Structure 1
Amino acid sequence: MTIRKTTKGMGMPWEDAYGYAQAVQVGDTVYISGQLSHDANGNIVGAPSLDEKGRIVDHGNMEIQMRQTYENAKALLAKFDATLDNVVEEVLYVTDMDAAFAVAGTVRKQAYGSDKPQVASTILVTPRLALPTQLIEIKFIARV
């Protein structure tokens, strides 16, 4: 059985390099690939300093990166005539749990426009994400 998929991208260089769609719609469900804190040119917003081995020195820009990541998700959802109100699940991948937890409540509530966002949420820590200066990545599932 063949399913009908509608895909959207953001024109980032890693879409072709890695070979994937930023978002895939099947029926009334939109699966959003992990979003990060890049600007329109693919530069990481709030990039942290790295040590001589390329490891993150300071996670103090977690809030900056988290806010930009939600903004990028909003832009991608808009391509499906959707907003964060359509999100039913999110998974946050972070490089430092303490830094993420210190800002996540405030940032998420502002992004969703609610003191108790109606979205299932999971947060996981990982030693490294795809790009060396990446502190956070968030994947979403939305219903439209």
Structure 2
Amino acid sequence: MKLSKESKGMGMPWEDSYGYAQAVKVGDTIYLSGQLSHDAQGNMVGAPPLDEKGRILDHANMEIQMRQTYENAKSLLGQFGATLDNVVEEVLYVTDMDAAFAVAGTVRKAAYGVEKPNVASTVLVTPRLALPTQLIEIKFVAKV
């Protein structure tokens, strides 16, 4: 039995170079690949300073990157006629747990538009994400 999938993208160069879909809808479920804080041209919003070895020196832009990441997820969900209200699960991958926790409550509440988002959420720390200036990546699952 062939699975019926509908996929969407954002036109970012890494979609073709890595070879993946930004989002895939199967039945009433939308799976969003890890979203990050790029603008429409693929430039990192809130890029932190790096040392000579390409390591992040400062995580102060975590809030800027987190806000942009949620905006990108909204845009991608919108391609399916969905919103963040349809999200049932998210997984946040961050490069600094303290910086993420310092801003996550405020940013998430603003993104979802409610004081206590009705979303299962997991936060994991990792030493590095796909792009050197990336502080956060968020994976989403939504139901429509």
TM-score for both structures, normalised by structure 1: 1.00
Map of 2:123 onto structure 1: 123
Q: The residue matched to 2:106 in structure 1 has which SS?
A: helix
Map of 1:19 onto structure 2: 19
1:112-142 per-position Cα deviation (integer Å, ceiling 9, x unaligned): 0011000000000000000000000000000
Residue 106 (structure 2) pairs with residue 106 (structure 1): yes
Counterparts of 2:108 and 2:30, CA distance in 1: 20
- Counterpart residue identity of residue 22, structure 1: Q
Residue 86 (structure 2) pairs with residue 86 (structure 1): yes
Counterparts of 1:77 and 1:23, CA distance in 2: 8
Counterparts of 2:90 and 2:132, CA distance in 1: 22
Q: CA deviation at 1:86?
A: 0.1
Counterparts of 1:32 and 1:141, CA distance in 2: 6
Consecutive unaligned residues in structure 1, runs of 5 or more: none
Consecutive unaligned residues in structure 2, runs of 5 or more: none
Q: The residue matched to 1:52 in structure 2 has which SS?
A: coil
Q: CA deviation at 1:89?
A: 0.1
Map of 1:61 onto structure 2: 61
Q: The residue matched to 1:34 in structure 2 has which SS?
A: strand
Map of 2:28 onto structure 1: 28
Report runs of 4+ in structure 1 exceeding 2 Å deviation: none
Counterparts of 1:135 and 1:40, CA distance in 2: 18
CA RMSD in angstroms comes to: 0.3
Map of 1:73 onto structure 2: 73
Map of 2:7 onto structure 1: 7
Map of 1:132 onto structure 2: 132
- Counterpart residue identity of residue 51, structure 2: D
Counterparts of 1:109 and 1:136, CA distance in 2: 17
Q: The residue matched to 2:103 in structure 1 has which SS?
A: helix
Counterparts of 1:94 and 1:2, CA distance in 2: 36
Counterparts of 1:116 and 1:62, CA distance in 2: 21
Counterparts of 2:114 and 2:128, CA distance in 1: 30
